[in-house]
Amino acid sequence: MNSQKILLTYTVILSVLTATATATATATSDAYPSPYATDATACNPSATDDLVPVRREVYDVGRIFDISHRYNPNMPSWESEDGLGQFLWLPKSMKNGSLANNSEMKLPTHTGTHVDAPGHVYDHYFDAGFDVDTLDLEVLNVLKFKHMGFRPGHLLLAIAIFPLATSSSDVAYPSGYGDDFGTCGKDVDLVPLRREVYDNGRIFDITHKLNPETPVGDSNEGIGQFLSLSLSMKNGSLYNFSLMTLLVHSGTHVDAPGHVFDHYFDAGFDIDSLDLEVLNGPALLVDVPRDKNITGGCINSLILSAEVMKSLNIPKGVRRVLFRTLNTDRRLMWKKEFDTSYVGFMKDGAQWLVDNTDIKLVGIDYLSVAAFDDLLPSHHVFLKDREIILVEGLKLDDIYSGIYTVHCLPLRLLGAEGSPIRCILIK
């Protein structure tokens, strides 16, 4: 892939992207978005040694090696002399009065450590839907060597690339993966297999696919078109190349402390500072009794209270718990409309876990661990000490409760207070 034509095409496209990026950044505010950690050492007099995030490449006393590159503006980007450039924006900033920080990322999908799907270089595979969501997790996870480091796909987030509804550049393109299938008499061999379970029932994908109807907080429309085809083979490019634009708290994702604490945001406690050892290891999947999480008073508010937490009898020593609730029964993550009546933690439920258990990873089956009525207080309780990691929007359907090994890997987004995350369970 190094012909002159490609070089030229890329140069043009990247120039366009860079120009767009610059325009967007300028449009918001002079001061914000401020990248994480710019204030931490030199400029911020209130920064202390306690507030310097540790960035690691090796975790769990030399057992886990992170072999993904961290996304940062200076990393190389295909055919760009200036590198990736700004890839994060802060449309909602606590400095501008928002209750939490909420970033949006814009990334060419082939940036940094990434994976290619067959549709990258074969347009008939692209049309038939052979996207990254169809890749075999068993192949990506080298189970023959399961005692060694373990890698679910890095950048690729179970992205199901759905038909892209609108296109500013061309009526026909960008066309979504799979949208031609069935209308043109395609070969049955060209029907991609989409699986939730891999390796003969040993690996469960507990990540929701990203598609335009994936729900996101405060929206009735879902995430909308999050992929655009910046280079299309139908327009003469030698390969297909997508750009992803996504609010980082969309679908199955993880929160960093900077999401709800602005001083942590400024000090750099971003996604890249999360402990991979906490995100990977033995985990308990529990069913929260559906009849117990109702307390009087709050209409429409099924909650995870201290009383409910106590009733679960989670043993000491358990460090990772995934809570399956009524949210799963109601299939809330399959509905594009954000539903505020979801089950989440009340402050006292969160506090009870902090005080009485060893849990460091809390997983939940809707977009927020915190009940809508206690949105900030519950997040504050969990994230205050920066020891607990919150994974939200998990897909826990059709899996027996019990003990598994969980593997959750966020993107190494330098400066982001949230990230899409790929999580799997292994029996």
* Pick 231 or 388: Cβ nearer Zn ion: 388
| Cα distance between residue 408 and residue 56, in whole Å | 16
Per CB under 5 A, which of residues 391..420 are in contact with Zn ion? 392, 418
Per-residue interface string for the shown chain with Zn ion, residues 364-383, x marking contact by CB under 5 A: ----x---------------
Which region, judged by CB under 5 A, interacts with Zn ion, from 18-26, 171-179, 246-254, 403-411? 246-254
CB of 318 to Zn ion, least distance (A): 21
Binding segment for Zn ion (CB under 5 A), chosen from 11-19, 63-71, 252-260, 287-295, is 252-260
Phi, psi of 357 (to 5 degrees): -130, 175
Nearest distance, CB of residue 364 and Zn ion, angstroms: 9
Q: Is 36 or 125 the residue whose CB approaches Zn ion more closely?
A: 36
Pick 17 or 244: Cβ nearer Zn ion: 244
Shortest distance, CB of residue 100 to Zn ion, whole angstroms? Answer: 8
AA identity, residue 147: H
200: left (phi over 0), alpha (psi -120 to 50) or beta: left
Closest by CA position to 208, among listed 334, 115, 59, 349? 334
Q: How far is the CB of 392 from Zn ion (least distance, A)?
A: 5
Stretch that binds Zn ion, among 89-97, 286-294, 337-345, 384-392 (CB under 5 A): 384-392
- The tokens describing 334, both together, are 């399959």
The stretch near Zn ion (CB under 5 A) out of 73-81, 109-117, 253-261, 341-349 is 253-261
Selected from 70, 209, 249, 395, the binder of Zn ion by CB under 5 A is: 249
Residue closer to Zn ion by CB (options 77, 368) is 368
Nearest-approach distance from CB 303 to Zn ion, in angstroms: 15
- Closer of 214 and 368 to Zn ion (Cβ): 368
According to DSSP, the β-strands at 253-255 and 303-304 are: unpaired
Q: Which is nearer to Zn ion, 127 or 365 (CB)?
A: 365
The only residue of 39, 66, 131, 255 in contact with Zn ion, by rule CB under 5 A: 255
If the CB atoms of residues 129 and 363 are measured against Zn ion, the closer one turns out to be 363
Residue number of the CB closest to Zn ion reads 249
Closest separation between CB of residue 59 and Zn ion, Å? 22
Q: At its nearest, how many Å lie between Zn ion and the CB of residue 256?
A: 9
Specify the amino acid at residue 300.
Answer: N
Number of residues that bind Zn ion (CB under 5 A): 5
Kindly tell me which of 249 and 407 has the beta carbon lying closer to Zn ion: 249
Q: From the CB of 378, what's the least distance to Zn ion, in Å?
A: 9
Q: Which is nearer to Zn ion, 103 or 141 (CB)?
A: 103
CB of 374 to Zn ion, least distance (A): 12
Piece of 53-61, 104-112, 177-185, 243-251 that binds Zn ion (CB under 5 A)? 243-251
Instruction: Note the residues at the interface with Zn ion (CB under 5 A).
Output: 249, 255, 368, 392, 418
